Amino acid sequence: MSDIKSTLIKKLQTKDAVIGIVGLGYVGLPLMLRYNDIGFRVLGIDIDHEKVDRLNAGKSYIEHIPSDKVAKATKSGFEATSDFSRVAEADAVILCVPTPLNKYREPDMSFVLNTTDALKPFLREGQVVSLESTTYPGTTEEELLPRVQESGLVVGENLFLVYSPEREDPGNLDFETRTIPKVVGGHTPACREVGIALYEPAIDQVVPVSSTKAAEMTKLLENIHRAVNIGLVNEMKIVADRMGIDIFEVVDAAATKPFGFTPYYPGPGLGGHCIPIDPFYLTWKAREYGLHTRFIELSGEVNRGMPEYVVGKLMDGLNQHGKALKGSRVLVLGIAYKKNVDDMRESPSVEIMELIEAKGAEVRYSDPHVPVFPKMREHHFDLSSVELNAESLAGFDAVVLATDHDRFDYELIKQHARLVVDSRGIWREPADNIIKA
């Protein structure tokens, strides 16, 4: 074992290493708290000065992460900064930055590449660099490897490079950072060894794979599996609806089979930072190999069409009440991408709002987790959440249930809304003012 590698592994095992986390969002912040909690000194780096100031003041900006946890971390040595030169202080550098799609639905690698370019002048021997952002197979090898070696460092000898995909499920109380198994692939066997040493103190189960490419593909398979199955059940929903069958009843019944079936439920479209995006990372990369991923692309097509399907159902419902969508007042219930969180990334609710507005209706929203519509890269609404009560509900021509938060009073909604478009299967019993979507 080389001296550099063995020294770094020992520092990680004895918790003497400094952990640097670049990107302090939904992935980076829980990881910071975990490493801090088990006794590592953690340095957080983020380009957002407002975020940095909040964290250093002991305040959280993510609803399901309490401020008292952040305050405890800052008191016990955690520090956030926007100064990339301080990466030299870290023994491990974990990159947790976004990998969205551009307007052509191609991978936007600018966050990963710009971050790596900002870090590379300050990388030194005896460090491990781990990319956690979801990406296409080959990214670590093709993009990070040449960049981190530009100054003369040699990966596998005096610098170690790994890919370990993030796995997180905001709002799911059954799992936390520690209990979600961690896949780790290294550029070389020595890199993999260091990667295992990096994550073993913090995560209950580390799952080593043979390469960074295998780890990158593992993450894509996990999310494509979900995207394809959700696409299937969304298509089944449309067929079942046309046949007068309740798809939610059917999925519940099928789920009683104790083998060979996993229940997936339909909805208004895909949301979050992974499932609507990740399949396109693989379809884009597959083209380089002359392959056309028809199955994956078809599910993407079905899922992308769901917001329009919901709006079509809204138009049908208003029609039955002798109203046009144009000129109507419509309230969208829930704009986070999934229930019980404040995460707005890729939320289909926002697309539903835009479609409704584009057809000439006045659109408002209500979401107990999102009091003010946030600044988003591509979507702009100057709105605040409407408080739900008998009067406010009756003031709209229709309400569209897009995200089924537990904090909604569903009985109140059913009683006082003139028309409800239910895209989540909340109301199972037929009612005159409820339309399934």
274 flagged as catalytic:
yes
Cβ atoms within 10 Å, residue 108 = 16
The whole-angstrom separation of Cα 437 and Cα 398 is 13
- Angle formed at CA 410 by CA 365 and CA 255, multiple of 5 degrees: 110
Q: Which of 422, 432, 393 is nearest to 314 (CA)?
A: 422
Q: Which value, to the nearest 10 degrees, does the dihedral of the CA atoms of residues 46, 49, 53, 55 take?
A: -30
What number of CA atoms fall less than 13 Å from residue 294's CA on the CB side? 0
- Name 44's bridge partners: 21, 80
Q: Are 385 and 368 in contact (CB under 8 A)?
A: yes
Query: 291 to each of 153, 228, 282, 433, how far by Cα in Å?
Result: 35, 18, 10, 48
Distance of CA 197 to the CA centre of its chain: 26
Tokens of 21: 């986390």
Q: Are 163 and 131 in contact (CB under 8 A)?
A: yes
Cβ atoms within 10 Å, residue 151 = 13
The whole-angstrom separation of Cα 96 and Cα 104 is 24
Tokens of 99: 């990998």
Instruction: Give me the phi and psi of 123, to 5 degrees please.
Output: -70, 150
The whole-angstrom separation of Cα 437 and Cα 423 is 4
The whole-angstrom separation of Cα 315 and Cα 306 is 14
Which of 70, 162, 220, 274 does the annotation list as catalytic?
274
Return the residue matching tokens 């640097």: 20
Q: Which of 418, 189, 423 is nearest to 307 (CA)?
A: 423
- Angle formed at CA 430 by CA 428 and CA 435, multiple of 5 degrees: 90
The whole-angstrom separation of Cα 75 and Cα 70 is 9
The whole-angstrom separation of Cα 251 and Cα 319 is 29
Residues assigned a catalytic role: 274
